[in-house]
């Protein structure tokens, strides 16, 4: 009797679970999104900041964890120039705003910084679904969530260390609580919406200015039409939060750049600023953005949600029109972001915050155009196509990341061999913000004993054929960077790294001269990131076969000359060549050879 009751209870519990799951299919989409985000962060990105931008955010997060705004300069500053960080006489710090590094520091404190972005992505799916369900109905919300959870633009940005994912989450909170306030004014909603905007100001101030500039006319009309004491009070609170955010930012400037109104971007590059020049830049920018519509495809479907009637209860059409107008104005706003007399500083990820409103509009359009089983077949095909794109892109990213993690392993083993107190390997190469430069990381986590860092000077591959085949190869091509150590007589064992696992070769240790060789990918396209065109993604499969590309060596200081001129330092001759095998996209060695200190 008791056993029967137990079985019935278990069966009832199981039936109840599946029943709840059928009633709440969004849970399946949340689980799918969480799994994909974790997979991308760990398998494709290797839990590793893969660009100079991301590294700078992680760097500043760890700086905050150390209880300071700036770091002391390295013992030998010329070897410690890192892209997107600033070295001043009073210290070294990231050029970026403080908002995102503060959030990232919460994960870094637990050595789980790589999970902060995926966690934000999952929260985005949950809150985005709830808002979409309220505005456009349950079916449209499910379609939107499925499209987002399998979308490469969403997955790659959310799994990265970039700040664009939290900005989109903040935008959802702004939309959500402004809409709630419109329906039933409450101080709580005004505070949450304003706090979300304040975060954007502290994380991506240009995004914050665009969001505020687009919403301000609407908010002003609402204010004057509904003026009352409670509304005036809530407005004052919201404005106070923005003033506080700006004040915090200015104090941060004072603590880093030493000037309230000098921002890190200005100090790093005085030309990096917005400039209003619509006739010069507006059309070219939007045309260039249009190249990415194959990935940012919701923009194609979004207008259909505004003009096609539907038989089901209509969604909040006024707000959907507002979403479309907001997205369009946001795109146009970024057309002002340029360097005078130079090409635009464009990254498709800048437009990422508009992915939510556009995906919602696309979902509404699909629900209007399709009926019955057809809509779910089309949805499955779209999601499947997106997952194929994600895999193809992720495979290309993964190989480049493996090269970076290989350097990370190299720094660990080289540090163990030399046992230095701290040393840096400076790589002569471009320190610009070009994605192809940032993708291959020579700038490693500053906590390591051995630090691979760029210097601002660089050379392109001297062989035109090689340059045509691989448009960007490792920083330092042909350079003669410096391996600096307090121990001039340190001895370096030979290591060969193919895949991230190093193997010590049976060879006698020798002092002084270290040769570092490396390789990059064999693809014609040098960079893959969310927003890249589909035809580029299609080329991101395995390399066609074993191949070698090498170029003429540049003259370098001999070990003997190095010892004579700088007896207290080691020199590393850093040459780059491409070696491709069927398994890995890189192969490089740290080895000692030759002569005497």
Q: What is the DSSP string of 75-89?
A: SSGGG---TTEEEET
Tokens 């039409």 label which residue? 225
Instruction: Judge whether 383 and 147 are in contact, CB under 8 Å.
Output: yes
Q: Which of 452, 430, 456, 584 is nearest to 514 (CA)?
A: 452
pLDDT attached to residue 464 = 32
- Taking the complete model, does pTM exceed 0.75, yes or no? no
pLDDT of residue 189: 97
pLDDT at 345: 55
Rounded to whole angstroms, how far apart are CA atoms 573 and 568?
17
Q: Tokens for 28? A: 């399946």
- pLDDT at res. 123: 98
Tell me: the pLDDT tens digits for 404-424? 554 555 555 555 555 555 444
DSSP strand pairing (514-518 vs 570-576): parallel
Q: Which of 363, 347, 383 is nearest to 141 (CA)?
A: 363
Beta strands 91-94 and 337-338 are unpaired
The pLDDT value given to residue 14: 54
Show the CA angle centred on residue 302, arms to residues 296 and 304, nearest 5°: 140
Q: What residues in the chain have per-residue pLDDT under 70?
A: 1-15, 73-83, 271-300, 307-315, 337-347, 396-597
| pLDDT score of 107 | 94
Reduce the DSSP state of residue 376 to 3 states and report it. helix
How far is 584 from 500, CA to CA, in rounded Å? 10
Instruction: Note the pLDDT of residue 86.
Output: 85
DSSP bridge partners of 502:
497
Cα distance between residue 231 and residue 160, in whole Å: 39
Query: Cα separation of 577 and 410, whole Å?
Result: 17
Q: How far apart are the first and last CA of the chain?
A: 87
What's the pLDDT tens digit per position in 126-175?
A: 999 999 999 988 999 999 999 999 988 899 899 999 999 999 999 999 99
Which residues sit opposite 93 in a β-bridge?
Answer: 86
Tokens of 489: 């007589």
Rounded to 10°, the helix 116-136/317-334 angle is 140
């Amino acid at each position: 009797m008791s056993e029967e009751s137990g079985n019935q209870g278990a069966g009832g519990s199981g039936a109840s679970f599946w029943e709840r799951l059928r009633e709440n299919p969004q849970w399946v989409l949340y689980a799918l999104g969480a799994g994909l985000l974790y997979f991308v962060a760990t398998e494709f990105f290797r839990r590793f900041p893969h660009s100079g931008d991301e590294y700078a955010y992680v760097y500043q997060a760890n700086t905050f964890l150390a209880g300071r705004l700036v770091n002391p300069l390295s013992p030998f500053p010329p070897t410690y120039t890192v892209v997107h960080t600033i070295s001043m006489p009073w210290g070294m710090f990231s050029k970026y705003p403080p908002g995102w590094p503060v959030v990232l520091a919460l994960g870094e404190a637990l050595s789980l910084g790589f999970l902060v972005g995926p966690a934000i992505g999952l929260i985005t799916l949950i809150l985005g679904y709830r808002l979409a369900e309220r505005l456009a109905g349950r079916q449209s919300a499910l379609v939107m969530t499925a499209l987002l959870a399998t979308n490469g633009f969403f997955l790659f940005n959310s799994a990265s260390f970039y700040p664009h994912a939290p900005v989109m989450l903040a935008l959802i909170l702004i939309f959500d609580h402004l809409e709630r306030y419109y329906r039933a004014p409450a101080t709580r909603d005004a505070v949450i919406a304003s706090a979300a905007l304040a975060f954007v100001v502290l994380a991506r101030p240009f995004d914050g200015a665009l969001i505020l500039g687009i919403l301000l006319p609407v908010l002003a009309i609402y204010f004057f039409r509904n003026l009352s004491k409670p509304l005036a009070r809530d407005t004052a609170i919201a404005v106070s939060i923005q003033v506080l955010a700006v004040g915090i930012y200015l104090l941060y400037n004072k603590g880093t750049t030493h000037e309230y109104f000098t921002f890190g971007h200005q100090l790093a590059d005085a030309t990096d600023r917005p400039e209003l020049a619509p006739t010069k830049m507006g059309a070219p920018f939007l045309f260039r953005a249009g190249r990415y519509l194959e990935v940012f495809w919701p923009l194609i479907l979004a207008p259909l949600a505004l003009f096609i009637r539907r038989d089901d209860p209509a969604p909040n059409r006024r707000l959907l029109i507002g979403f479309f107008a907001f997205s369009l104005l946001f795109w146009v706003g970024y057309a002002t972001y340029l360097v005078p007399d130079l090409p635009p500083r464009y990254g498709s990820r800048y437009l990422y915050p508009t992915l939510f409103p556009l995906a919602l509009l696309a979902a509404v359009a699909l629900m209007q155009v399709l009926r019955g089983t057809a809509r779910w077949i089309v949805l499955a095909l779209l999601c499947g196509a997106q997952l194929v794109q994600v895999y193809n892109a992720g495979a290309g990213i993964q190989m480049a990341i493996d090269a970076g993690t290989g350097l990370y392993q190299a720094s660990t083993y080289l540090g163990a061999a030399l046992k230095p107190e701290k040393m840096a390997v400076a790589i002569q190469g471009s320190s610009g913000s070009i994605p192809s430069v940032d993708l291959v990381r020579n700038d490693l986590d500053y906590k390591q004993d051995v630090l691979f860092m760029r210097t601002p000077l660089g050379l392109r591959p001297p062989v035109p054929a090689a340059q045509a085949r691989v448009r960007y190869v490792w920083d330092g091509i042909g350079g003669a960077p410096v391996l600096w150590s307090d121990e001039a007589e340190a001895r370096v064992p030979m290591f060969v790294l193919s895949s991230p696992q190093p193997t010590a070769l049976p060879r006698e240790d020798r002092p002084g001269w270290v040769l570092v060789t490396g390789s990059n990918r064999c693809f014609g396209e040098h960079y893959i990131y969310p927003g890249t065109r589909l035809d580029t993604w299609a080329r991101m499969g395995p390399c066609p076969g074993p191949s070698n590309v090498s170029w003429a060596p540049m003259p370098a200081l001999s070990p003997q000359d190095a010892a004579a001129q700088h007896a207290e330092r080691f020199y590393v001759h850093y040459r780059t060549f491409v070696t491709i095998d069927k398994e890995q996209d890189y192969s490089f060695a740290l080895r000692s050879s030759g002569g005497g200190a």
